[in-house]
Amino acid sequence: MKGVLESTGFTWGAWYWPVWLVVVLVSFLGPEIFSLCTDHGPNTLSGWVWRALKIHAAESPLQWSATDFLAFGVWATLMVWLSFHFFTGRFV
């Protein structure tokens, strides 16, 4: 497949990335699930982002600031790029 790196055997990435992913998921999901189950929504990642960007419930995108659009644009670009990168092997 064009653009996909050839495997050169065992490298540090073979153990580092799975361990990193597990640590990140556990350290994120633990507090996130606890906050949601104990009705502490403001302690979630979403709650923090909404406070940082000063977004209110049911706010229309017409009320967004330039910072809101920039943050959304960066997030959308990253998600599109990672999706194509992971699932098609492009943009290596």
Assess contact for 79 and 87: CB atoms under 8 A.
Answer: no
Whether 42 is covered by a domain: the verdict is yes
Lowest mean pLDDT among 1-5, 15-19, 84-88: 1-5
Whether 1 is covered by a domain: the verdict is no
For residues 16 and 46, state if they share a domain. yes
pTM confidence score: 0.62
Structural domain containing residue 16:
11-52
Distance CA 66, CA 75 (A): 14
Q: pLDDT tens digit string along 17-74? A: 999 999 999 999 999 999 999 999 899 998 998 888 888 878 888 888 898 899 899 9
Q: What is the mean pLDDT of residues 69-91?
A: 90
- The pLDDT assigned to 59 comes to 83
Assess contact for 72 and 78: CB atoms under 8 A.
Answer: no
Whether 4 is covered by a domain: the verdict is no
- The pLDDT assigned to 52 comes to 87
Cα atoms in the Cβ-side hemisphere of radius 13 Å centred on 21: 6
Whether 2 is covered by a domain: the verdict is no
Assess contact for 22 and 15: CB atoms under 8 A.
Answer: no
Sign of CA dihedral 45, 46, 52, 53: positive
Whether 6 is covered by a domain: the verdict is no
* Number of structural domains the chain divides into: 2
